[in-house]
Structure 1
Amino acid sequence: MTTNARPVKARRLRPTARAWGLMAAGVVLIALAEIFGVAELRFFGLVLILLPLLTLLLRVLARPKLEIERAVYPTTVAAGDRIRVVAEVRNKSIYGLEASSYIDRVTGTDRQQVAGVLPAVASRLHRREGRRRRRIAYGLTRMRRGISQIGPLFLENIDGLGLTRRVIQVGDPVEIEVWPHVHNVDRLDIPALRTGSEAEIALGRAGDADDVVTREYRRSDALRRVHWRATARAGELRVRQEEHHAEVVALVVFDTAPTNRKGIDPAFELGVSVIASVLTRLHEIGYDTELLETHTEIDDSENANAGRESALNLRTSAGESLGRVMRHLMLVQPASSEDADDLEELHMRAASMGRGPMVLVTRTDRPISESLIDFAGYGDPAIAILCGPAIETDSSATRFVGAGWEVVRMNSSARDPWATPRRFGVAE
């Protein structure tokens, strides 16, 4: 089976070029037999014509019945991760299947398809279980954010004589959700996003150290979160639960303005990862969080108002799962036009809430409006994370610092953008 860019699709059983050649040769032999009166030539000509036709008839009747079962490891996938796909092909027919070349379609990665050779699959009457099923296994690297598809599987089945050919589709595509990659935001060196005692200083709004809500120690808890006074009183390890943060809503604003790049925009993809990571950290240290986007596009005109409100208000309480927001971030894309600008509505939304931490994630490959920079007045602290390629003079960072933002600059063109964040003018 060819593995070029042409799309693969199922094809009915049909003669191959070899079969047509044999039948043409048979016609020529019969014609020569009539001209020269040689009966043997007529016999051989009939054999050459009937052999492909009989093979085609037998293959129509002896069609294998195949089914496939897939497994993907790991089951939860983040952007950039590697997955392993294992597919088992079973034959439910009384007729066996010859060795066949295969193509398995894939999306969401650098590869468009995986090709190989599937060994012969015996009929369901074969006494050995291992001969009635065959396994295909392969790995996919650097999975892209979004919904990826694996399959269907296509088998190019040719008989032993090479006279007939068909392409069989086995199974349907399997969808896999690839969520944004969540990183450790400690690498950004932002005190307000740290855990443990540093978070108590930076984020505590009410009560003193003795008022902190604690719970029993779990194996996954970091030792720096141990509350030693509560441990001494209880006689067992206790850690900070920090539920008092839930009284303050942390605003996270994502600039989803249109991009100038065709295809995948590294700066935008980095921004999605940053948003997911920041939301996860704020959630871990006990904040209610709300995700706001600067541009929203609603397709359903009948429910435009409800859809717009839902897109503008992605609120998650400290006790809820972030699953709904992560699924939203899995699919979010830059707006198609500036017409979907919602900055005025976002200002009204931010002004109606208390002054809690605010994190703004934007890109430096486009003009940044003063209206976006003015969000600093709603945050305490206000943190701007700028994603884009490295440049010598960063005027965007200077403008944000001048407006009172704590600024982190991340190089989206670096091999590991999280390795070298740059800090600018921390507000006092």
Structure 2
Amino acid sequence: MNPRPALVRVREAVSPGLAAVRRTAGPYAAMISPLGWIVLGAAVVLGAAGWRWGWVEFRTLAVLLALVAVAAVAFTLGRWEYAAALSLGTKRVRIGDVALGGVEVRNDSGRAAASTVLELPVGRNVAPFRVPRLAPGDTHEQVFQVPARRRGVITIGPVRGVRTDPLGLLHRQRTWTEPVELFVHPDTVLLDTRAVGFLKDVEGVATQNLSSSDVSFHALRDYVPGDDRRSIHWRTTARVGRLMVRQFEETIGSHLLLVLSLNPADYADEADFELAVSALGSLGQAALREERRLSVHTSDGPLDFPSGPGLLDALCRLEPRPGSASLRDLAAQATARVPEASVVVLIVGGAVEPASLRAAQLALPPEPTVFAVRCGRGLTAARRKAAGLLVLDVASLTDLQRGLRTLA
């Protein structure tokens, strides 16, 4: 005898059939609104009670509700005869700009299409627009504007058609396009070339690592098997009577690492966080224009970007992360991932105390140059040192421009 309970065997037997029913009936069930389910349920209950106990009133109400449901189906029947295309004039705008786009609707059928209302989701809102009656092959273009009020990514679309009945019992929907993303870039400023002079200052600085294939000459030493013969210094070899090779010191190539805290506790308000994101974008753009190597690390981890616009696109998705790692841990994680960084910039809010900045600096290796940028609308622009760490306090992007010039 099979030891498995009978209920388990029954469930396994009917599961394939139930799955098939869900696949078939699921799309139709999704068309029924909560009010529609109430009407259908009431029709079934009243009809069953009316016929069971012979109550004419209940049977009459059940028939009326059933007729209402049938009428709702009639309102939502019919084919859509349209094809639609969604386009944006540009997929990248700055805060304060207005993005323009358009929806083109075409009647692809062989007969006239009645006027209808289509919907275009824009972020969390939905913009309805009416399509007039279209003859076969005719098109209608609807132009729309999207104001870019704050940094972020706005999802636009898909264009969809919605049919419903006057009571809202059924809701039938069809989509024609894929959604598109509009990137609202943070405010940035063009930093003067001299403002990234701190990157040039570290270029060519010798490290303690010796090499046979760099450009900074260090000393001569005896040849050992395996050395590159191109490094042999023949004049010295002839003078001392044995092979001597040149030895070099490895030099630093500038690599900027920007570290941004996403912890909301580090910022007085949302405006301070936005200023920090803008400061990061401005520094990153300046480094890329100077063709410097750039890495960005946030509380969410490393930020991947293929280009300058790609960096700003990635910044559009940043949001505060409550409970993020401390600034000290964040700095340690960033330099562990990018050990070759020669300059590390800690970008934080005005609520971060100098002691926290100093603790973050102590968590970093001694090789890179480190300074911090504190961003806060209530701060007074200043350049100062906190326990040996250079700190720039900025209340605006203009303050960032001025402060960085002092580092050149």
* Smaller-chain TM-score bracket: 0.5 to 0.7
Q: Aligned runs of 1:1-400 on 2, under 5 Å?
A: 62-78=78-94, 80-94=96-110, 96-107=112-123, 112-122=124-134, 126=135, 129-130=137-138, 133-142=139-148, 144-155=150-161, 168-176=173-181, 178=183, 180-181=185-186, 183-186=188-191, 191-193=194-196, 205=204, 248-260=253-265, 265-293=270-298, 295-296=299-300, 311=302, 321-322=307-308, 325-339=311-325, 341-346=329-334, 352-353=339-340, 356-367=342-353, 369=356, 370-374=358-362, 378-380=367-369, 382-391=370-379, 400=385
CA displacement, residues 383-420 of structure 1 (integer Å, 9 cap, x when unaligned): 4322122246x8xx676455342625134xxxxx5488
Deviation at 1:421, TM superposition (A): 6.1
Structure 1: gaps (5+ residues): 1-9, 17-50, 207-245, 298-310, 412-416
Deviation at 1:98, TM superposition (A): 3.7
Determine whether 1:403 maps to 2:391: no
Deviation at 1:89, TM superposition (A): 1.9
User: Does structure 2 retain, via aligned residues, the 8 Å contact 1:74–1:83?
Assistant: yes
CA RMSD of aligned residues (A): 5.0
Structure 2: gaps (5+ residues): 1-29, 37-66, 206-250
User: Does structure 2 retain, via aligned residues, the 8 Å contact 1:67–1:92?
Assistant: yes
Q: Secondary structure at the match of 2:80?
A: coil
Q: Quick one: distance in 1 between partners of 2:376 and 2:101?
A: 34
Q: Quick one: distance in 2 between partners of 1:77 and 1:59?
A: 41
Normalising by structure 1, report the TM-score.
0.53
User: Does structure 2 retain, via aligned residues, the 8 Å contact 1:247–1:287?
Assistant: no
Deviation at 1:71, TM superposition (A): 0.4
Q: Quick one: distance in 1 between partners of 2:119 and 2:304?
A: 43
Q: Which amino acid aligns with 1:138?
A: F
CA displacement, residues 204-241 of structure 1 (integer Å, 9 cap, x when unaligned): 648xxxxxxxxxxxxxxxxxxxxxxxxxxxxxxxxxxx
Q: Secondary structure at the match of 1:152?
A: coil
Q: Which amino acid aligns with 1:274?
A: A
CA displacement, residues 17-49 of structure 1 (integer Å, 9 cap, x when unaligned): xxxxxxxxxxxxxxxxxxxxxxxxxxxxxxxxx
Q: Secondary structure at the match of 1:389?
A: coil
Report the equivalent of 2:64: none
User: Does structure 1 retain, via aligned residues, the 8 Å contact 2:32–2:169?
Assistant: no
User: Does structure 2 retain, via aligned residues, the 8 Å contact 1:11–1:166?
Assistant: yes
Normalising by structure 2, report the TM-score.
0.56
Q: Quick one: distance in 1 between partners of 2:312 and 2:127?
A: 33
Label 1:378 to 1:272 Cα distance change in 2 as closer, same or farther (>3 A).
Answer: farther
Corresponding pairs, count: 302
Q: Secondary structure at the match of 2:288?
A: helix
Q: Which amino acid aligns with 2:147?
A: T
Q: Quick one: distance in 2 between partners of 1:183 and 1:165?
A: 48
Q: What percent identity do the matched residue pairs reach?
A: 16
Larger radius of gyration between Structure 1 and Structure 2: 2
Deviation at 1:247, TM superposition (A): 5.8
Label 1:248 to 1:363 Cα distance change in 2 as closer, same or farther (>3 A).
Answer: same
Q: Quick one: distance in 1 between partners of 2:402 and 2:365?
A: 19
